[in-house]
Amino acid sequence: MIKNILLGLTVALSVVSLPINAADSRPAQATLNTCDDFTNVSLRKLRTTDTLNLCEFKNKPLLIVNTASNCGFTEQFKALETVYQQYKQQGLMVIGFPSNDFFQEEDNEQATAKVCFINYGVTFPMLATSAVRGSDVNPIFKHLNAQTSSPNWNFYKYLVSADRQTITRFNSKVAPDSPQLITAIEHSLTIN
């Protein structure tokens, strides 16, 4: 009996000690990764059933890229990874969106994952293959396209400010490590 009472008190105390968000009385951890902008969407990660809600990167600039495994620009994965490694501690998040909109993506996610993770050593988040233009466009690119324009080819880069108010579009020919893009990234990291 005393053992049950102690167990009940322990459970009660652990519930009481959770930090509460005053706005909605849910534990603070539950609301930590929420946001009220276009990034409040959960998308499946490449070759997994796990999802990623882009609100996880709230208050961080994003470099969003539509990728393809069999494109003349696929080598840009190397520079994207270099840029990610160079600026991730300062807050930059690179996110890859494989797409077959230009008919240059692998037929299955296992092959796409091999290109990204094994061939190019990508460590930044890669999401499941999806459309980046057209009627079945994914929700992130739907917003990006409405604010700028849809990508005309693979490896278009969209630099989104930490406050989500500014989106700068770079075409495929602008390398991830080009002075033009690096200057924009460094500028986005200084604005909060």
Average pLDDT on 137-148 reads 98
pLDDT at position 67, please?
A: 98
The percentage of the chain sitting over the pLDDT mark of 90, rounded to a whole number, equals 81
Catalytic machinery residues: 71
**Angle at CA 52, nearest 5°, toward 139 and 67?**
60
Asked whether the whole model's pTM tops 0.75, one would answer: yes
pLDDT at position 15, please?
A: 34
pLDDT tens column, 6-60: 444 333 333 333 333 333 333 334 445 589 999 999 999 999 999 999 999 999 9
The percentage of the chain sitting over the pLDDT mark of 70, rounded to a whole number, equals 82
pLDDT at position 29, please?
A: 40
If one compares 79 and 7, the residue with the highest pLDDT of the two is: 79
